[in-house]
Chains A and B, each alone.
Chain A
Amino acid sequence: DAKTTQPTSMDCAEGRAANLPCNHSTISGNEYVYWYRQIHSQGPQYIIHGLKNNETNEMASLIITEDRKSSTLILPHATLRDTAVYYCIVRVANSGGYQKVTFGTGTKLQVIP
């Protein structure tokens, strides 16, 4: 799986958009970008994933650059409950269940009142 690079920490004002960047310059053509978050000591939670097109769901939007070497997770209106560690990972699409999923150190997002 390709390596990802994320800032260690970020702050965001409550109600504003939180933009979390991720660099994955060695991503290969069959690797998806996934985002998870982990609220203190809870199990990580899947947020969103994408291949090359931008994606949006009820939680967030994912913007992937045209060259796919970086992406940004956008939380449109951050709340205090969005304070968490956000992990960006890349992984190969389903290959019969052989999926080793490796998490990096992530970005610690602090939403400030």
Chain B
Amino acid sequence: DSGVTQTPKHLITATGQRVTLRCSPRSGDLSVYWYQQSLDQGLQFLIQYYNGEERAKGNILERFSAQQFPDLHSELNLSSLELGDSALYFCASSAEMNTGELFFGEGSRLTVL
């Protein structure tokens, strides 16, 4: 158990819909990262937050947005969903002062029909 909690574990929805994925980082971790992993693909970095502020951005679509709240949990919002958005979405967290190993949650599997 990494200490990172993601909900929901599974989500099935239709094209055009909007979903929100939630992540609770490990206790005390200030950084949250979001990754997308499509079938048989590598981990694609989406975005990173640190103590509530966006710090790094990867290949995140404009239809996707994220935020980190004062209690440090984070949400990834996916809108106008397309079939190609079906993937595993992982959240990871890391502490501020260590050399930065990431602790990953078990992921949210999104299926868009």
Q: Which residues of A contact B (CB under 8 A)?
A: 32, 34, 36, 38, 41-46, 49, 87, 91, 93-94, 96-106
Assuming the contacts A46-B102, A94-B99, A97-B55, asked whether A41 and B88 have C-beta atoms less than 8 A apart, the reply is yes
Tell me whether A105 and B88 are in contact (CB under 8 A): no
Contact A103 B42 (CB under 8 A): yes
* Complex interface residues of chain B between 9 and 41 (CB less than 8 A to chain A): 30-31, 33, 35
- B100 near A94 with CB under 8 A, answer yes
What A residues does B51 contact at CB under 8 A?
97
Q: Which residues from B are CB-within-8-Å of A99?
A: 31, 48, 55-56, 94, 100
Bound: A65/B33 CA distance, A:
30
Chain A positions within 8 Å of B97 at CB level: 94
Out of A96, A98, A106, name the residue touching B56 (CB < 8 Å). A98
Partner of A44, one of B55, B94, B104: B104
Cβ-neighbour of A43 out of B50, B94, B105 (below 8 A): B105
A104 touches which one: B35, B42, B109 (CB < 8 A)? B42
Chain B 2-13, CB within 8 Å of chain A: the 1/0 string?
Answer: 101000000000
